[in-house]
Amino acid sequence: MSHVENLTPRQIVASLDQFIIGQNAAKKSVAIALRNRWRRMNASDSIREEIVPNNIILIGPTGVGKTEIARRLARLARAPFIKVEATKFTEVGYVGRDVESMIRDLTEISLNMVKLEMQEDIKPRAEEMVDERILDILIPPVRKNRNVNRQPKPTGFDSTAVSSDSAYDPSTSTDEELNERTREKFRQKLKDGQLEDRKIELDVQAGSGQTMQIFGPQGMEEMGMNLQDMLGNLMPKKTKKRQMKISEARKHLFQEEAEKLIDHDAAVQQALARVQSTGIVFLDEIDKIAGNSSKSGGGPDVSRQGVQRDLLPVVEGSTVTTKYGMVKTDHILFIASGAFSTAKPSDLIPELQGRFPIRVEMDSLTEEDFYNILTAPQNALTKQYQAMMESEGITLNFNNEALREIASIAAAVNQDVENIGARRLHTILSTVLEDLLYSVPDDIHSGEIDIDKAYVQKQLQHIVRDKDLSQFIL
């Protein structure tokens, strides 16, 4: 949590404002939840374990920023984060995924995060080892107890390139000395980037292409993963030779050398600790499992109330078995979301409602919000299209009136057809720019292109006029 230890809730909201328009109440709630984690970690030992996270339910239609808020919060905190749909799970004892699988997946994500951070720490040493392995391929070391007059021929280079090197002077040096001098010269060339386009032959692991997944009662998924690991260790790993440039070979060799240098036991322990103290689970579509089984005919409702009952201990705090060890979920932050258009939060079982004490109503997006979404965020859609066009040598400019028109049309279509929030901007912009994206670079090679209000109206006039057609296109 060191990355956010100096961020106040107000500063966290300011960071979220760079990517998310509006929804101040939701951003305020998640900012407090994130800061509370730091407060808990710095509380006295006697009370620290008793402080539980205040889980949140975000209520609002699709496309208003529920998922984006949770995802940006996790990136800001550098915390393990997973997004799951509640509809994926079924009650324990039925075919399907059990709810504890999301904690196992979160643990995998945490371990990958820790390993990537460790790779950064050992990167200089790993890169040195990669250079040595490349040198071993280019200039094989001299074998011991061999005829001193016989020098192994370097691979990966033509003979003239090596023989012209002044290091090869048999009248003055032994094979070992000649070899080391040559390696030193090529080592310097590697560091200077002069050999990146040279091709070498490398042994790479061949992917089996086979996976194993077991669905069934609780714990069977974990057994399937362990079985796969055991079989993988028993079977010899197949390799195949590939010709590739040194620049490409570096990536393969770096992964291998980094794996050797990383302390895997320490990585696992750190990953488990990070999941337990800073993990975030975003539980989407929780409204789809709300409701009571009596309304569906009285039969077993394994994907609704059964899932809620299974979720309860995980959210409340329990211990989940993973292949890396036991994970306590007491301090994992759960952020649930749902449109709740056909159900209400009160339709959840009372025990689960109590585990989500904070409920935030998300606002529907207005025309002004759409305009701000197109202009303000760092990752605004207009900026994305401008970057893509720039790669083709085209400077794409959006007139302010054009952006206002796009925002107006998005708001109108959402109101008349179906409200899908900011996602409507994706479909409208792709329709507006379709002809342009198709014409570049065949018909248009370079220069500036201005998108004005007239152009937007021309591209969308037949769709906006025909509301029945807009249901299928926009």
What CATH code is assigned to 367-462?
1.10.8.60
Query: What would the pLDDT profile of 276-319 be if each residue is shown by its tens digit?
Result: 999 999 999 999 998 654 444 444 455 578 889 999 999 999 99
258's tokens: 């980094």
* Residue among 112, 110, 114, 50 at smallest CA distance from 275: 110
Return the pLDDT at 202.
85
- Distance, in Å, from the CA atom of 141 to the CA atom of 91, rounded to the nearest integer, reads 61
Percentage of the chain modeled with pLDDT above 90 = 45
Same fold, 2-118+271-361 and 367-462: no
Residue 423 has pLDDT above 50, yes or no: yes
User: Residues 340, 288: contact at Cβ < 8 Å?
Assistant: no
Tell me which DSSP letter residue 238 carries: P
Instruction: Compute the distance between CA of residue 101 and CA of residue 320 in angstroms, rounded to an integer.
Output: 9
pLDDT digits (tens, 9 = 90+) for 353-395: 999 999 999 988 999 999 999 999 988 999 999 999 999 999 9
pLDDT band at 428 (very low <50, low <70, confident <90, very high): very high
Asked if omega into 441 is within 30° of 0 (cis), the reply is yes
Distance, CA of 259 to CA of 267 (rounded, Å): 11
Lookup result for tokens 């374990």: 49
**Average pLDDT value for residue range 142-153:** 55
Strand ordering across the sheet containing 81-85: 81-85, 280-284, 333-338, 56-59, 358-361
What's the whole-number mean pLDDT along residues 129-150?
Answer: 75
pLDDT class of 61 with cuts at 50, 70, 90: confident
Per the CB < 8 A criterion, the answer to whether 4 and 38 are in contact is yes
Q: What is the pLDDT of residues 322-340, one digit of tens each?
A: 999 999 999 999 999 998 9
Residues 6 or more apart whose CB falls under 8 angstroms from that of 296 comprise: 304
Q: Which two tokens stand for residue 439?
A: 């014409």
CATH topology classification for 2-118+271-361? Rossmann fold (3.40.50)
The burial of 286, by beta-carbon neighbours within 10 Å (0-12 exposed, 13-18 middle, 19 or more buried), is given as buried
Tens-digit pLDDT profile for residues 198-245: 888 888 876 544 444 444 444 455 555 555 555 555 566 677 888 889
Instruction: Round the average pLDDT of the chain to a whole number and report it.
Output: 82
pTM of the predicted structure, to 2 decimals: 0.77
Residue 399, both tokens: 């007139």
The residues spanned by each domain of the chain are: 2-118+271-361, 123-261, 367-462
CA distances from 88 to 83, 102, 211, 286, 304 (A): 12, 10, 20, 11, 11
